Amino acid sequence: MRLDVVTIFPEYLEPLNVSLVGKARARGRLNVQVHDLRDWTYDRHNTVDDTPYGGGPGMVMKTDPWGDALDSVLADGYETGSHAPVLIVPTPSGRPFTQELAVELSERPWLIFTPARYEGIDRRVIDEYATRMPVHEVSIGDYVLAGGEAAVLVITEAVARLLPGVLGNAESHRDDSFAPGAMANLLEGPVYTKPPAWRGRGIPDVLLSGHHGKIARWRRDEALKRTTVHRPDLIERCDPKAFDKKDREM
Ligand SMILES: CN1CCN(Cc2ccc(Cn3ccc4ccc(-c5n[nH]c(N)c5C#N)cc43)cc2)CC1
């Protein structure tokens, strides 16, 4: 997978050099190119913004730097063999970013991110590139950030961990809260490791029992409890039959 990011804060994307995404890059699973939008400005102040038509607070990111940057990124990608790009535009007004979308994006060969700042990007830029590729305008949550770079880090990590060979234990993402299966749509329950006692607190006996069926059932029940408290909205999405099937297997 090729991944391009165009931003006025390339240093914000340094975390893409470390941990899971950094390892995926080192292993050649991910080719990440971060581009400074100001490289496509030609005035003395490297201007990327201007006042909004119609008035109102804040500034809007100008068309030309984005158009020149995206044309350059696309030309380079196509020249080096990439194809079928998808444009991802983080925005507070976007559709919620979900695990389902992470899975969909993880199956694409080329993602191009345009994290903006100020009040966002002149609409004509998105409209122009929507004629050439799928565009996903996404929000990572119901809170207001100052720009889209944090969203790029979040989306990139959620997608990269789904790429083949990136997670150490291939099963790890199979039982994710939002992955299909009996634990689908359930939040993870509590986890424990050594020592067996810590400041007078022990481990649930079932986890020391070695009875895999009972352990699986306990974990599912704990996940149900946690989901009921923190995300009751997810309960109705659970497939109760999946539990019965899982019980029969235990
Ligand atoms: C007067 N009012 C008129 C409405 N604006 C709305 C507004 C406009 C831009 C910004 C800052 N910003 C710029 C680019 C950009 C990308 C993503 C996000 C973002 N925020 N939260 C998420 N989950 C995000 C994601 N993903 C924020 C961004 C914040 C708020 C405020 C002022």
**Total-model pTM:** 0.94
**Cβ of residue 77 lying under 6 Å from some atom of ligand 1:** no
The mean predicted confidence, pLDDT, of the chain is 93
The residue-averaged pLDDT of 49-68 equals: 98
Q: CA 50, 140, 153, 108 torsion: positive or negative?
A: negative
The answer to whether residue 10 is catalytic is no
Atom of ligand 1 nearest to the CA of 121: 14
Distance, CA of 95 to CA of 19 (rounded, Å): 28
Give the residue, by CA position, lying nearest to ligand 1 atom 21. Answer: 144
**Cβ of residue 61 lying under 6 Å from some atom of ligand 1:** no
Residue of 184, 186, 183, 202 whose CA lies nearest to 194? 202
The answer to whether residue 119 is catalytic is yes
**Cβ of residue 96 lying under 6 Å from some atom of ligand 1:** no
The answer to whether residue 205 is catalytic is no
Choosing from 49, 149, 176, 222, which is the catalytic residue? 176
Residue of 58, 77, 102, 54 whose CA lies nearest to 6? 77
The answer to whether residue 176 is catalytic is yes
Residues 74-87 pLDDT 10s: 999 999 999 999 99
Label residue 244 by pLDDT band (50, 70, 90): low
**Cβ of residue 188 lying under 6 Å from some atom of ligand 1:** no
**3 state SS for the chain:** CEEEEEECCHHHHHHHHCHHHHHHHHCCCCEEEEEEHHHHCCCCCCCCEECCCCCCCCCEECHHHHHHHHHHHHHHHHHCCCCCEEEEEEEEEEEECCHHHHHHHHCCCEEEECCCCCCCECHHHHHHHCCCCCEEEEECCCCCCCCCHHHHHHHHHHHHCCCCCCCCCCCCCCCCCCCCCCCCCCCCCCCCCCCCCECCECCCHHHHCCCHHHHHHHHHHHHHHHHHHHCHHHHCCCCHHHHHHHHHHC
**Cβ of residue 148 lying under 6 Å from some atom of ligand 1:** yes
Distance 107 CA to ligand 1 centre (A): 28
The residue-averaged pLDDT of 76-101 equals: 98
pLDDT at 64 over 80: yes
Distance 147 CA to ligand 1 centre (A): 6
**Cβ of residue 93 lying under 6 Å from some atom of ligand 1:** no
Residues 119-160 pLDDT 10s: 999 999 999 999 999 999 999 999 999 999 999 999 999 999
Residue of 39, 38, 88 whose CA lies nearest to 61? 38
**Cβ of residue 146 lying under 6 Å from some atom of ligand 1:** yes
- Residue 237 is predicted with a pLDDT of 81
Choosing from 10, 15, 52, 92, which is the catalytic residue? 92
Atom of ligand 1 nearest to the CA of 97: 26
- Residue 120 is predicted with a pLDDT of 98
